[in-house]
């Protein structure tokens, strides 16, 4: 297991116990890190607090990633609680249901704006807020969660594919920008897996079946496998890796048909 002993980390995007972000938070805590979790609204606060209570000394803080004032307040709270930060796991993503069920050509301006704001720009905004905290620790690691829909067309993924493509481009630009400060930026691109977010994508069962039938490993992905890959990228073990998108999909991305 990658070692995160004594590390301080922020995990964004936990919704429930089936969230990839929550799996990463658990794995990071098991590897020795102290974790801060965020919740975007009062509706999800209770869920996040209940999950955080199962970790040792976890901190729970509010943060709507579309609100710059809340992001600034989050950084202030982290400074007060931790004094610095070693890593950020960014798992925020959202698109209105209509933008997934309608044809892509029917994507609305507001839906496009919201999907790109929550799913891609929030990485930039959160990174900007966390960099001063990482500087005090001599550097850090940032990992975001992507999907192969950034590169290929998937039914009913639509504007989320465009948002993930923007997210992956942001990873590369941020990695180039922050490398001199010893801050690394990478992404984990997970194979299809049933989460609260993915359940809203029409045709998810078809994607899961295709994964089992066509991926070289001939099986679906488990949350723990994705979390372990993310923890590797957050840890010192990956200290020479930045600007990368690590595919954790049983090899599905190499298959043509």
Q: Is 164 a catalytic residue?
A: yes
Catalytic residue among 7, 39, 121, 157: 157
Q: Is 121 a catalytic residue?
A: no
pLDDT tens per residue, range 56-112? 999 999 999 999 999 999 999 999 999 999 999 999 999 999 999 999 999 999 999
d(CA 255, CA 251): 7
Residue 11 has pLDDT above 90, yes or no: yes
Half-sphere exposure of 117 toward its Cβ, with a 13 Å CA cutoff?
A: 12
Domains and their CATH numbers in the chain: 8-248 (3.40.50.720)
Give Cα 163 to chain centroid, integer Å: 13
pLDDT tens per residue, range 177-227? 999 999 999 999 998 887 766 666 666 788 888 888 999 999 988 999 999
9 C-beta neighbours (distance < 10 Å), count: 26
Residue 1: the pLDDT is 59
Catalytic residue among 164, 173, 194, 252: 164
């Amino acid at each position: 297991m990658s070692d995160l002993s004594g590390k301080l980390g922020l995990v964004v995007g936990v919704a429930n116990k089936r969230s990839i972000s929550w799996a990463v938070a658990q794995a990071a805590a098991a590897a020795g890190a102290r974790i801060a979790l965020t919740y975007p609204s009062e509706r999800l606060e209770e869920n996040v607090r209940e999950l955080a209570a199962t970790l040792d000394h976890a901190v729970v803080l509010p943060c709507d990633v579309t609100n710059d004032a809340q992001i600034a307040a989050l950084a202030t709270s982290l400074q007060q609680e931790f004094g610095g930060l070693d890593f950020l796991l960014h798992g925020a993503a959202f698109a209105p249901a209509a933008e997934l069920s309608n044809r892509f050509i029917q994507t609305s301006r507001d839906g496009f704006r919201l999907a790109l704001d929550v799913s891609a720009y929030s990485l930039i905004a959160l990174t900007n807020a966390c960099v001063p905290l990482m500087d005090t620790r001599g550097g850090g690691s940032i990992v975001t969660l992507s999907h192969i829909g950034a590169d290929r067309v998937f039914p009913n993924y639509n504007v989320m594919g465009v948002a993930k493509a923007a997210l992956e481009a942001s990873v590369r630009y941020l990695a180039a920008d922050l490398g001199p400060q010893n801050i690394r930026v990478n992404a984990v691109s997970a194979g299809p897996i049933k989460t609260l977010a993915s359940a809203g994508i029409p045709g998810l069962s078809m994607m899961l079946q295709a994964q089992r039938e066509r991926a070289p490993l001939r099986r679906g992905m488990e949350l723990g496998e994705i979390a372990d890959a993310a923890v590797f990228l957050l840890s010192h073990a990956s200290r020479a890796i930045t600007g990368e998108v690590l595919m954790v999909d049983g090899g599905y991305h190499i298959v043509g048909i």
